[in-house]
A = this chain, B = another copy of it.
Amino acid sequence: MTRTQGRELADARSSNKVDVVVIGAGLAGLTAARELVAAGKTVAVLEARDRVGGRLLNHDLGDGQVTEIGGQFVGPTQDHILALAQEVGVATYKATVPGDSVYVHNGAAKRFSGSTPPDLLALPDAAIAMARISQIVKTLPPDAPWKAPRASELDGMTYETWLRKLEVTGGGVDLMNIFLNSAYGSEARDASALFSLWYVSTFGDETHPGTVERGTGTEGGAQESRFVGGSQLITIRMAEELDGRVYLSAPVRRISQDATGCTVVSDAGDWRAEQVIVAVPPVLASRIVWDPLLPPQQDQLFQRLPFGTLMKCEAVYDKPFWRSEGLSGMGLLRDGSPIRSMFDNTPPDGGPGVLMGFLGGKEWRAWAHRPARERRGAVLRCFAKVVGPQAFDTTDYIEQDWTAEQWTQGGPTSIAAPGVLTDLGEWLGRPFGRVHWAGAETSPYWNGFMDGAVRSGRRAAAELLDRG
């Protein structure tokens, strides 16, 4: 029996029939499934992992406490994820911790309050960049940045080039990279200027145009709040509501379309459906066997939307000792440290203490393959620069390398190099026969964020229902 014959047998014995198969039980897929069930459709959600949540993942700290090692922050204008959380009974709390933040540069750690790091040389550059970003972002349509007046010019250069053309010096670029490092696991040189400016334009909603401050900020920004019980709880609750419709450990290997429907081949059996929603990141979608093949333009686009590289490193302590010293636990490190930004990631009732640092972009590329012990030491030395030597007195240390996860292959989102959006961007969410696309990468608002994922699931479900 050849593999092909095996598949034909599998097709013949397939008895799983639904109106819609949704692939991926992250926020986008579960949201789509929920909408479809509400509209009376029969639905099966096929999830490759043995858990739901996709890029959301809680880590159990014991005693009923969790911390997150995937997406976690929410803020103003992210109304879709906030409303969904409320619907499934997950509350929010303020993520911000009173106290000073710390800026590490030139061998010194300086306390500061507010959101502006005390870097007298780099700040004027950063201010110029911010002003220019604000201007240009207004010209970018969030749903079609390739139609912007200067799209071609902006998509001809990297974001680093664009910044340097403003006479922004190395310091200003460094500050920008501190943000990009966690925001998309990349450096300013890895992404197109058009993509990066468009990304900022998505930090808002239909009535609030995107701003840098809303994307990077804590109070009033995208890092303002967290979810009680951890962000993954929202997906767990949705899966419970979907009551038996979510199939775990069911990686999808092949999607066939014919005149009467789709056949979805997974490790947990085959499904037949009238339509399919693919709610996995572009790079994973491209690794499914497609029959017929994806349109070449869509395949080319997916070839050009690699994931960023991001690891979350978290240290656990008896208590958040830095708080009593007037520190917020937030640190920005511009001294070549592997960790460039870090936050207090302590659960809402104050214990145990957790510090979380992002190891992303080129630092991931330098550190991810080194021995775990060596990396742990380097990360704790970064934490110590911000909160003092007690940083070494951990009760636990957790690393979550999203790039090593088979069913994500990177983090936190997919980014586009120059030329991609202008030439191929319009293929991003374009339905392919009976296949519709969801996922945070397809959203014109909060692209790459939890809110974008929820929006995309709703949009895909509506699009599918609209087609009948």
Contact = CB atoms under 8 A, between A and B. Distances in A.
A303 B307 contact: yes
Contacts of A289: 253
A160 B365 CA distance: 26
Given A3-B266, A158-B157, A296 B404 contact: yes
A410 B297 CA distance: 10
A439 to B, nearest CB: 16
A395 interface: no
Contacts of A210: none
Question: Which of A303, A304, A410 is the most central at the interface, judged by chain B CB atoms within 10 Å of its CB?
Answer: A303
A357 interface: no
Interface stretch (A116-124, A183-191, A201-209, A334-342): A183-191
A2 interface: yes
A295 B409 CA distance: 11
A154 to B, nearest CB: 10
Interface stretch (A54-62, A232-240, A416-424): A416-424
Contacts of A156: 158, 160-161, 189
A373 interface: no
A365 B420 CA distance: 10
A6 interface: yes
A300 B160 CA distance: 21
A42 interface: no
A299 interface: yes
Contact of A161 (B4, B161, B362): B161
Nearest to A423: B365
Contact of A157 (B189, B253, B266): B189
Interface in A296-310: 296-297, 299-300, 303-304, 306-307, 309
A73 to B, nearest CB: 24
Nearest to A303: B306
A349 to B, nearest CB: 35
Interface in A167-190: 186-187, 189-190
Interface string A258-298: 00000001111100000000000001001101000101110
Contacts of A401: 296
A368 interface: yes
Nearest to A288: B287
B190 A419 contact: yes
Contacts of A365: 297, 300, 423-424
A290 to B, nearest CB: 9
A131 interface: no
A155 interface: yes
A403 interface: yes
A38 interface: no
Given A160-B157, A267-B2, A417-B190, A307 B297 contact: no
Contact of A409 (B189, B299, B362): B299
A7 to B, nearest CB: 8
A293 B418 contact: no
A442 to B, nearest CB: 18
A108 interface: no
Contacts of A9: 1
Contacts of A161: 156-158, 161
Given A286-B287, A365-B297, A418 B418 contact: yes
Nearest to A403: B296
A10 interface: yes
A368 B362 CA distance: 36
A324 interface: no
21 contacts: A3-B269, A6-B10, A156-B158, A156-B160, A156-B161, A157-B158, A158-B158, A161-B161, A189-B418, A190-B417, A190-B418, A190-B419, A295-B369, A296-B403, A299-B403, A300-B309, A300-B403, A303-B306, A303-B409, A365-B424, A418-B418
Interface of A: 1-4, 6, 9-10, 155-158, 160-161, 186-187, 189-190, 253, 265-269, 283, 286-287, 289, 293, 295-297, 299-300, 303-304, 306-307, 309, 362, 365, 368-369, 401, 403-404, 406, 409-410, 417-420, 423-424
3 nearest A-B pairs in the assembled complex, by CB-CB distance: A417-B417, A303-B306, A156-B189
Given A296-B368, A300-B409, 9 more contacts: A2-B267, A6-B10, A156-B158, A156-B161, A158-B418, A296-B369, A296-B403, A300-B403, A362-B423
